[in-house]
Amino acid sequence: MTLETEAFRFSQFGAPDVLSRQRHALTDPLDGEIQIRHLAIGVNYIDIYHRRGVYAAPLTLPSGLGIEGVGVITALGEGVAGLAVGQRVAYVGGPPGAYATFRNLPAARALAVPDGLDSTVVAALVLKGLTVEYLIHRCVSVAKGDIVLFHAAAGGVGSIACQWLKHIGATVIGTVGSEDKAEIARANGCDYAIVYAKEDFKARVAQITGGKGVRVVYDSVGADTFAKSLDCLRPRGTLVSFGEASGPVDPLSVASLGGKGSLFVTRPSIAHYTADRSEYEAAARNLFSAIEAGIVKAPNASKYKLSDAVKAHEDMEARRTHGSVILIPDGL
């Protein structure tokens, strides 16, 4: 049965106001797809890159936006097994289109949500938590005693990373944009919070580590931090460049990594760490167990009505948000 959805779409790349709220008919789910009614939607900095068209492979326009949500299954396409109408599921990835009341998506992206977990908590945690899961366990395996530098430590991903890294027994040095955010990072387990707008984080990391440097730097800020991040590493350390909130990173001379201490650099994406269904499910189990065990708590989520998605983007880009940002369909 065809139903109407209210969705944000855009037909040109640009500022938040390219997003327009539209009602349109949603077709039945195709083979291998499910249809869901959203209960909560996660907003991610990746959505901003998609909207701006800055990814190496920008979206095909016109497009929907958003790659994270929690909802109830309202219909199943042909060939979908193991899922049922009425079941609550979460998802990460698939074609952008989460900023909508109803949507269709590939069933392979659906994850069963444990009963005890509130939908808003899951929407605040699932993409960001799965990102942290692969960053600290599979991209690099962080161990007790490691010293780690994590940029944007009070953001959505950063707030979860600080908690999980602390639980592992790592020493966490975080960078943040303001004193308020420093407090939030510390509350999440960050041992040293550096306000990088005021303090030179490279000098401060050298001071904290007695000149030795850190084993891993997680850098999602990009242009403003990348070069100094390399200089914070100890010999044989790893720079994980996983985002570019301040702009793209300049080209890197591979030879320079030798001179700086046999360094490793990787540019990972959650897409490649959750593409395989069994890895995706194992990562989700690891995350949901960490939530249930209290290792990872939902960062204070800033909630916006779905109809206020443009405002959510404006606030996130202006660095006014901390923790996770979620959208709740109007009327829920």
Ligand X SMILES: NC(=O)c1ccc[n+]([C@@H]2O[C@H](COP(=O)([O-])OP(=O)(O)OC[C@H]3O[C@@H](n4cnc5c(N)ncnc54)[C@H](OP(=O)(O)O)[C@@H]3O)[C@@H](O)[C@H]2O)c1
Instruction: List contacts with ligand X (CB under 6 A).
Output: 44-46, 128, 131, 152, 154-158, 176-177, 181, 220-221, 224, 242-243, 245-246, 268-270, 316-317, 319, 321
**Closer CB to ligand X, 153 or 306, in the complex:** 153
Q: 196, 139, 180, 130: which is closest to 157 by C-alpha?
A: 130
Interatomic CA distance for residues 45 and 134, integer angstroms: 18
Q: Cβ 22 to ligand X, closest distance in Å?
A: 25
Q: Cβ 83 to ligand X, closest distance in Å?
A: 25
* Assigned token pair, 250: 């300049």
Interatomic CA distance for residues 25 and 108, integer angstroms: 23
**Closer CB to ligand X, 231 or 317, in the complex:** 317
Q: Exposure of 252 by Cβ count < 10 A (0-12 exposed, 13-18 middle, 19+ buried)?
A: middle
Q: Cβ 235 to ligand X, closest distance in Å?
A: 25
Q: Which residue is nearest to ligand X (CB)?
A: 155
- DSSP-derived 3-state class of residue 67: coil
User: Bridge-partner residues for 5, per DSSP?
Assistant: 24
Q: Cβ 101 to ligand X, closest distance in Å?
A: 22
**Closer CB to ligand X, 26 or 123, in the complex:** 123
**Closer CB to ligand X, 128 or 186, in the complex:** 128
Angle at 269 between CA 279 and CA 311, to 5 degrees: 115
Rg (CA), the chain: 20
**Closer CB to ligand X, 103 or 181, in the complex:** 181
Q: Cβ 168 to ligand X, closest distance in Å?
A: 19
**Closer CB to ligand X, 163 or 321, in the complex:** 321
Q: Cβ 243 to ligand X, closest distance in Å?
A: 2
**Closer CB to ligand X, 24 or 272, in the complex:** 272
User: Per residue in 190-216, is it b (16+ CB within 10 Å) or e — as a string?
Assistant: bbbbbbbeeeebbebbbebbeeebbbb
Give the H or E element holding residue 292: helix 277-292
Interatomic CA distance for residues 132 and 158, integer angstroms: 8
Q: Cβ 319 to ligand X, closest distance in Å?
A: 4
